Structure 1
Amino acid sequence: MSGPADVALVLIGRNEGARLVAALEAARGQAARLVYVDSGSTDGSMAAATAAGAEVVTLDVSVPFTAARARNAGFARLEETGGAPACVQFIDGDCAIVPGWTGIARARLAADPGLGLVTGWRAEVAPEASVYNRLCQWEWRRPAGPIAACGGDMMVRAEAFRLIGGFDPAVIAAEDDEFCQRLAKAGWRLERLAAEMTRHDAAMTRLGQWWRRAERTGHGFAQVGRLHPGYFATERRRVKVYALALPVAILGSVAVSPWLALLPAMAYPASWASAARGLRRDGVPRGDARAMAVLLTLSKFPNLIGMVRYHLRRLRRAPMRLIEYK
């Protein structure tokens, strides 16, 4: 491969099919090396990666898969075969890198030795396909500048990665947030650039997919929040209020008077209206803002399920297994 000589790409995936083929094609010419890490695919992903010229790493299926574990394995392959270059771009298998991104990101890291990582903007390839995809599109578009955390598409300084020991393989969701928290605590700064980075294919067309994704998000709130108590504190509090305290208050009020139950119940339309206004301020069209606000209000319930699932697993000392929505 060509691209910046001191940048390598680590692409991770599992049964991504055509999405992986697109990711591999987009990666061509973006870096000096490309490592693909496969987490037990059965759809020909490894053959596709080999045909594209990638170095292929297959994870041991006897150990629970996590994105964190896969990224660590990709970095380890670089270290074992000549050493990781100065910077490593991590990409998920459902993402296609935008031409020119690695050069922009590498130049920014070279200009500021205090930066541990940079990220950019994701965009959905098919936002028109569903309101769930459009919600993802909104989630990805965050302001450029200093950040506390970012998603899994990121360019990381290899020195910083080594210093903190990479990703925590036990974290099954929001592992990128957890990684960023440790990076910042080690003294590195993080930045989002005002540049297009990747095209993401959420491929969510059913409510059940969105619900499972929201469960996974809740699992991340709880697990990463336990590791870094100040992080996700607001999110955890909202979940406890809207998915636990308010339902209990409504049920308790019904026992006294159905009319009394209307008082705590009014918190839900108020939350919806607030979310819709926020989305409109971000430029989301009115109809989409209303539909997306419903999902944001409803999301507290699957979030709570994910949080409870994490704590039950922790108490039983059960493996932290992936919650998949595709």
Structure 2
Amino acid sequence: MEACLRSLRAQAGTAAEVVVVDGGSGDATREIAKVFADRVLVHAGERNAQRNAGWRAARGRVVAFLDSDMVLDPGAATEASTAFCQDPGLGGLVVPEYAFGAGFFARCRAHERRLTARGSARFFRRSAVELAGGFDESLYGCDDGEFAERIAADGWTIGRLDAAVGRDEGRLSLGRAFAKKRSYGRKLYEYPQLPRQERRTVDHPSLVTPARLAKAPALTVGLALLKAVEVGGVLCGMAEQRRAQRG
């Protein structure tokens, strides 16, 4: 959390308004947030309800959505602001994502990000967000892509930043990855509404090639194992929740 907020306060050339939405945590999250944020809200709903509470409380014409384990590159806010000023039809901006952390499987995750050039739309024009009605609070999975799809369906374009955002994986292990996806699977089963098929609002080439995979064989094998464990966690969580609901 603190690293995320420090990265927001370190944005060069812009006075970013920082709104933190806390889900009722029992740790020092709110105390840390009060040091760096302009406003701290408490909202016990799921993450999309928290996101909607955050942008509605903010006053800027450009809004960005970050998770607490993310660190934003110093020039990202300025680059985004310039892009929205130059293109009045621009509704959102995809931010490329990289990963970092401790241990072998954190390096595998970083390998995955380098291979896929993965990113999600995180900066939006406020008027585009208002027109779309914010995030769909009935969704738990695929919500980022679904939101960008609705922005594009309203006639806005979706661009892409050069600046990136890093996600801190911490000390990633197979057990931790399984437990996280198991919890995700339980929640995903509780939200059976599936999003519409996502349109490709931003085209970028995949970087996954046999040559790139072969350059880091140990990381490639570790990544395959990590993904298999995560898929297993999701399926396990969904099966557990299905059994619980059936009694």
Q: Please tell me the TM-score bracket, short chain as reference.
A: 0.7 to 0.9
1:66-100, Cα deviation, whole Å (9 max, x unpaired): 2211111111112xxxxx32211211111121111
Provide the residue aligned with 1:209 in structure 2. 176
Q: Distance in 2 between matches of 1:89 and 1:33?
A: 10
Provide the residue aligned with 1:3 in structure 2. none
Q: Distance in 1 between matches of 2:186 and 2:224?
A: 18
Spell out the pairing of 1:1-326 with structure 2 (5 A cutoff).
20-30=1-11, 31-59=15-43, 61=44, 65-78=45-58, 84-126=59-101, 128-131=102-105, 133-141=106-114, 142-143=116-117, 150-151=119-120, 154-193=122-161, 195-215=162-182, 216=184, 226-228=194-196, 230-231=197-198, 278=209, 280-281=211-212, 285-306=216-237, 308=239, 312=242
1:33-62, Cα deviation, whole Å (9 max, x unpaired): 111111111112111111224311111x4x
Counting aligned pairs with the same residue, the percent is: 26
Query: Which protein shows a greater Rg?
Result: 1
Q: Distance in 2 between matches of 1:90 and 1:286?
A: 34
1:151-172, Cα deviation, whole Å (9 max, x unpaired): 3x71111011001111122322
CA apart distance, 1:296: 3.0
Cα distance change, pair 296–222 in 1 and its aligned pair in 2 (3 A): farther
1:129-168, Cα deviation, whole Å (9 max, x unpaired): 231x234324444449xxxxx53x7111101100111112
Name the SS for the 1:32 alignment partner. Answer: coil
* Number of residue pairs matched by the alignment: 233
1:273-321, Cα deviation, whole Å (9 max, x unpaired): xxxx8575367611111221233345443343355567x49xx69xxxx
TM-score by length of 1: 0.61
Cα distance change, pair 202–162 in 1 and its aligned pair in 2 (3 A): same
Q: Distance in 2 between matches of 1:176 and 1:222?
A: 18
Q: Distance in 2 between matches of 1:203 and 1:118?
A: 26
* Structure 1 residues not aligned, in runs of 5+: 1-19, 79-83, 145-149, 233-276, 318-326
Name the SS for the 2:18 alignment partner. Answer: strand
TM-score by length of 2: 0.78
Aligned Cα RMSD in Å?
3.3
CA contact (8 A) 1:120 1:154 kept: yes
Most deviating of 34-43 and 113-122? 113-122
The one of the two structures with greater contact order (alpha-carbon pairs below 8 A, sep at least 6) is 2
